[in-house]
Structure 1
Amino acid sequence: MNVALGSLPADPERENEDFAAVAPGVAVLLDGAGVAGAETGCVHGVAWFSSTLGGLLLSSITTRPAWSLAGCLADSIRAVRSLHEDSCDLTYRASPTSTVVAVRVGAGALEYLVLGDSTLLLTDEDGKTAAITDRRLDEVGKRLRGRVDDLPTGSPEHAAALAEYRDALTGLRNRPDGFWIAGPDPRAAEHAFTGTVPLDSLASVSLLSDGATRLVDRFELADWQEVVAVLGSSGPDELIRRVREAEDGDPNGRRWPRGKARDDATALHWVLP
């Protein structure tokens, strides 16, 4: 496997809540989430949740080739739940959750799964790139953001509006009229976007957390094909550097309104033979 991986926390003084890993023919990326400023009800925390779920998912996908990716994810969520349901309050509104992107090669095809707002990029031999992203969270968010985007990022007023928005968002988590994400309930795996693509049609596969996709879907400073070109020529670290440069040039969110001035950013780029 020819894989390049880069990851950087939003703040070097805080844990990186993203997780990415590979095994022969398999790659996974998770972006952990809680409710900012709120206790999670979990003594382990968001980074523990995303890395534990990611490690178990990678193992399940690798050792159970006959299982679907959704089946592997559901089983891994159950396994993580069993590890901390006796010590943590998994019914708490801010219990840790995570997006999931997973791919597996087998029988001449690439199988994929996307749950939550991380992104999978599939690039063909002609350089055309298709982006697969679960936009249900964004669609719900647009209805609820209210004043968040009108206030300077990091201000007390913005923090208060953001807390109100996230409370409302949490109430729609893993509900038919809301959005789906990996958390305590394995049934979320049933609602992931899944599919297969002929392997010989692909030149590369890229897995990105939403902190790394900001260059396209938040800042509009590049398109997906340009992102893949950067990943192929200069690697994930250069993509993340460009994201940080844009973030640092707009620390108050005036040009690009957003919940976080900076976000954990992870990119995994897999060049296929």
Structure 2
Amino acid sequence: MRVSLLSVPGSPDRSNEDFAAASHDVVVLLDGAGTPPGIESGCSHGVAWYARQLGAQLLAEAGTAPRRPLADVLAVAIERVAAMHGDACDLTDPNTPSATVTVVRRTGDDLEYLVLADSVLVLDVLDGDPVAVTDDRLARTSRSLRAEMDALPTGSPEHTQARRAYAETLGSYRNTAGGFWVANTDPAAAAHAVTGSVPLDRLRAVALLSDGASRLVDRFRLTDWADALKILADDGPAGLIRRVRAAEDSDPRGERWPRGKASDDATAVYCVL
């Protein structure tokens, strides 16, 4: 695989809570679930630390145990990072750090994949239209919960307060039946990931996108997956994220595209197979 990636923080005064890394046959992308100011997580390390530790464990385990299913790999990684927290962290806190997970692994003649929560995997299929592999349970769960927040100007005090209330309510649906699933402290969440495989000879390339990068397509609707793949092929991840930032800058108060943050951490990984 030939891999290019870029990860850009949503704001210069906040840590980038995305993580992406690659080996010769495995690529991982995680999007840490940041909490609004005023909400405590019970963790002394923070979301960025969690995403980096889990991503590193995933990359290592997926590469050293190539026959182990990716869901099992993720479960092992979650368990290991939970043990790394130590006694200073309260892992029973409902806001303990969590992250979306997207993994691809080349195994023999196939490309295996796993997607958990709202990052996106886009398959550039040789004989057809691109295929977006998504886990839309978070989007379906949050749709009715975010109406008050989305009706307010992004960045206003009222929006900040509504975002905090939204985050607190959403937490009660995390890793529950009928809600949505993310990686945090419970290895059982891994069994709820979307998994599958595709023959390598059917693929030209794949793209792993955090929701801060995929929003050009799935939130802003300014292009489609075929055009997004063309941007990545021609201009790389920087070209895609540059277009995302231009769209965000054109709507800083979220009037055209209501959203929790005016600019989110954006990570794009493009893999030519």
Is this a same-fold pair by TM over 0.5?
yes
Structure 1 position 141, deviation (Å): 0.4
1:17 aligned partner: 17
Distance across 1 between alignment mates of 2:257 and 2:118: 18
Q: Does the aligned pair in 1 maintain the 2:17–2:34 contact within 8 Å?
A: no
Structure 1 position 204, deviation (Å): 0.2
1:131 aligned partner: 132
Amino acid at match of 2:229: V
Q: Does the aligned pair in 2 maintain the 1:118–1:208 contact within 8 Å?
A: yes
Q: Does the aligned pair in 2 maintain the 1:115–1:191 contact within 8 Å?
A: yes
1:193 aligned partner: 194
Distance across 1 between alignment mates of 2:77 and 2:116: 14
1:26 aligned partner: 26
Amino acid at match of 2:32: G
Structure 1: any 5+ residue segments left out of the alignment?
none
Structure 1 position 241, deviation (Å): 0.6
1:41 aligned partner: 42
2:98 aligned partner: 97
* SS state at 1:234 partner: helix
1:153 aligned partner: 154
Q: Can you list the C-alpha shifts for 1:51-100, whole angstroms capped at 9, x where unaligned?
A: 00000000000000110000000000000000014220111121100000
1:56 aligned partner: 57
Does residue 70 in structure 1 map to residue 71 in structure 2? yes
1:83 aligned partner: 84
1:3 aligned partner: 3
* SS state at 1:144 partner: coil
Structure 1 position 22, deviation (Å): 0.4
Distance across 2 between alignment mates of 1:101 and 1:146: 28
Q: Does the aligned pair in 2 maintain the 1:34–1:95 contact within 8 Å?
A: no
Q: Does the aligned pair in 1 maintain the 2:28–2:55 contact within 8 Å?
A: yes
Distance across 1 between alignment mates of 2:35 and 2:52: 18
1:243 aligned partner: 244
Aligned length: 272
Q: Can you list the C-alpha shifts for 1:85-144, whole angstroms capped at 9, x where unaligned?
A: 422011112110000000111121111000010000001124621001110000000121
Query: Displaced runs of 4+ in structure 1, greater than 6 A?
Result: none
67-76 or 159-168, larger mean C-alpha shift: 159-168
Structure 1 position 147, deviation (Å): 1.0
Q: Can you list the C-alpha shifts for 1:203-236, whole angstroms capped at 9, x where unaligned?
A: 0011000000110111111100000000001100
Structure 1 position 13, deviation (Å): 2.3
Amino acid at match of 1:231: L
Same amino acid, percent of matched pairs: 54
Structure 2: any 5+ residue segments left out of the alignment?
none
1:266 aligned partner: 267
Q: Can you list the C-alpha shifts for 1:134-177, whole angstroms capped at 9, x where unaligned?
A: 10000000121131111101111111111111111000100011
Could you tell me the TM-score, scaled by structure 1's length?
0.98
Q: Does the aligned pair in 1 maintain the 2:127–2:202 contact within 8 Å?
A: no
2:254 aligned partner: 253
Q: RMSD of the alignment, in Å?
A: 0.9
* SS state at 1:143 partner: coil
Q: How do 1:101-180 residues align onto structure 2 when only pairs under 5 Å count? A: 101-126=102-127, 128-180=129-181
Q: Does the aligned pair in 2 maintain the 1:127–1:225 contact within 8 Å?
A: no
2:231 aligned partner: 230
